[in-house]
Amino acid sequence: MAGLKSITVLVPGKLHPRSLRRIKETFDLVQIDSFGPASLSEELIGRVRGIAVSPALGGAFVGAQLIDALPRLEIISNFGVGYDGVDAIHAGKRNVMVTNTPDVLTEEVADTTIGLLINTVRELSKAEAYLREGRWVRDGAYPLTASLRGRKVGIFGMGRIGQAVARRLEAFGLAVSYHNRRKIDGLGYEYHSSLEGLASAVDVLISVAPGTKETEKAVNSAVLKALGPNGVFINVGRGSTVDEIALASALKDRIILAAGLDVFANEPHVPQSFLDLPNVTLLPHVGSASVHTRDAMADLVVDNLIEWFSKGRAITPVPETNHIKS
């Protein structure tokens, strides 16, 4: 790997410490706190050949401006399977490879999704708070809750994680259906060609869809109304896929029963309207956040860089840049 030491990899903002350590051991690592091209010296601009970034953990958004400012840039290695923090379409046009971290986090995120679903329906964290406040002794048993029994679950975004969630739900004896842009051949779950159609056929809607222009605010008031008064909405995909104002109103006016959210449009800021509501379970984007899985993601970020600069190919290119050769 000695030849890689002369290659400069820029890390704008925060990144997992394991990725940082391995990049530092292998490449010429340059970390910067402020992200715009204006914060880079002329000398650095001419040197950077790779970027490693984790937008959701406090890294920079890697947009067209930054990509265009770096004439020798070859690869952007994104920490996370969701790469809405990188302008991959623009990178593709500029012949810059973009990689993400699929598969290594799939089962962890599916576990978290099931935990969030059960917690939302059976109110486990509220029941624990009740016990800790001494209310079991003072007020008696915790009130009875809603149930998962007999529910139909719809998955918006039946990809790697969606299918891992569906496998778990099958073991729970729950009926599963889904909406994607395309029906998946050979997948034995009922397909709905529209999100609203899916929502009206189920009483749990789980969003595992990516944050794109097409999915922006896709979960809107019509979808929530279709989900109905017994409906539960779970989001582990991206906050941008939800009209958060419509969701807060739907929860407040009992258009739906409850929601469980791991992701938000403007992280780490969570709308006060959600914090004020009793029927929403809130998590700080912890879907993949175990030591085991974050280590695997951190390694894949660096392995993509090493593979690119030593063998001229990427391990996990995103579809928008799959065509690019070194």
Question: Backbone phi, then psi, for 225, in 5-degree steps?
Answer: -65, -40
Compute the least distance from the CB of residue 241 to ligand 8YV, in Å.
12
Query: Is residue 236 within 8 Å of 161, Cβ to Cβ?
Result: yes
87 or 123: whose CB is closer to ligand 8YV? 87
Q: How many Å apart are CA 207 and CA 157, to the nearest integer?
A: 6
**Which residue in this structure is represented by tokens 């910067």?**
32
Residues numbered 82-141 forming contacts with ligand NAP, rule: CB under 6 A: 82, 102, 105, 109
Residues numbered 136-175 forming contacts with ligand NAP, rule: CB under 6 A: 157-162
- 120 belongs to the binding site for ligand 8YV (CB under 6 A): no
- Taking CB within 5 to 8 Å according to partner kind, which of ligand NAP, ligand 8YV, none is near residue 181? ligand NAP
Among residues 325, 296, 297, the alpha carbon closest in space to that of 311 is found at 325
Is-catalytic flag, 267?
yes
- Taking CB within 5 to 8 Å according to partner kind, which of ligand 8YV, ligand NAP, none is near residue 192? none
Q: Which residues contact 62 (CB under 8 A, 6 or more apart)?
A: 12, 51, 53, 55, 76, 78, 85, 86, 87, 91
70 or 153: whose CB is closer to ligand NAP? 153
x/- mask, ligand 8YV, residues 63-82, rule CB under 6 A, reads ----------------xxxx
- Taking CB within 5 to 8 Å according to partner kind, which of ligand 8YV, ligand NAP, none is near residue 237? ligand NAP
In 64-179, where does DSSP find H-type helix?
64-69, 88-93, 106-122, 124-132, 135-139, 160-171
Residue from the set 122, 152, 252, 285 that interacts with ligand NAP by CB under 6 A: 285
In total, the chain counts a number of residues equal to 326
56 or 110: whose CB is closer to ligand 8YV? 56
- 264 belongs to the binding site for ligand 8YV (CB under 6 A): no
Is-catalytic flag, 238?
yes
Q: How many Å apart are CA 305 and CA 29, to the nearest integer?
A: 12
- Taking CB within 5 to 8 Å according to partner kind, which of ligand 8YV, ligand NAP, none is near residue 214? ligand NAP
- 211 belongs to the binding site for ligand NAP (CB under 6 A): yes
Query: Is residue 53 within 8 Å of 27, Cβ to Cβ?
Result: no
- 236 belongs to the binding site for ligand NAP (CB under 6 A): yes
Intra-chain end-to-end CA distance of the chain, in Å? 18
Strand order from edge to edge, sheet including 28-32: 28-32, 8-12, 48-53, 75-78, 97-99
Residue from the set 210, 216, 295, 315 that interacts with ligand NAP by CB under 6 A: 210
- Taking CB within 5 to 8 Å according to partner kind, which of ligand NAP, ligand 8YV, none is near residue 231? none
Is-catalytic flag, 16?
no
Among residues 243, 296, 244, 288, the alpha carbon closest in space to that of 270 is found at 244
Residues of this chain that bind ligand 8YV (CB under 6 A): 54, 56-57, 79-82, 105, 285, 287-288
Instruction: Give catalytic residues, as residue numbers.
Output: 238, 267, 285
